[in-house]
């Protein structure tokens, strides 16, 4: 699978000239003035840097709150821990 995500790289690793390894943690569809946009939430497996890509060449750092809300929620919704019976 080759798509635009593979043109992205982790800035912190790029600066240190390490190969960045990005992991797509979540995909969210967000309504904007330009229509539906897909935001990809990515995590660098080398340094743990978290960011989202809104457009192909634009990255934004993601704070802990947003990460928990968008990534943790969507990943646990399908497979919730069985702490409650
Ligand atoms: Zn990195």
**pLDDT tens-place string over residues 56-81:** 667 889 999 999 998 986 555 445 55
Q: For residue 11, report the distance from its CA to the centre of ligand 1, in Å.
A: 7
Cβ atoms of 67 and 48 within 8 Å: the answer is no
pLDDT tens for 17-49 read 988 888 899 999 989 888 988 889 999 999 999
Question: What is the structure's pLDDT at 56?
Answer: 65
Q: For residue 59, report the distance from its CA to the centre of ligand 1, in Å.
A: 13
Q: For residue 58, report the distance from its CA to the centre of ligand 1, in Å.
A: 16
Q: For residue 43, report the distance from its CA to the centre of ligand 1, in Å.
A: 8
CA distance 24 to 5: 9
pTM for this prediction: 0.69
Cβ atoms of 42 and 13 within 8 Å: the answer is no
Cβ atoms of 60 and 51 within 8 Å: the answer is yes
User: For 22-72, where are the alpha helices, taking DSSP H only?
Assistant: 64-67
Helix (H) or strand (E) holding 18: none
Q: For residue 76, report the distance from its CA to the centre of ligand 1, in Å.
A: 24
CA distance 9 to 53: 11
């Amino acid at each position: 699978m080759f798509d635009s995500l593979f043109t992205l790289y982790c800035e912190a690793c790029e600066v240190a000239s390490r190969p960045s390894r990005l992991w797509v943690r979540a995909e969210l569809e967000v309504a904007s003035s330009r229509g539906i946009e897909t935001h990809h939430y990515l995590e660098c497996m080398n340094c743990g840097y978290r960011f989202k890509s809104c457009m192909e060449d634009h990255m934004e750092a993601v704070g802990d709150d947003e990460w928990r809300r968008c990534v943790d929620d969507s990943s646990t919704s399908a497979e919730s821990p069985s702490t409650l019976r």
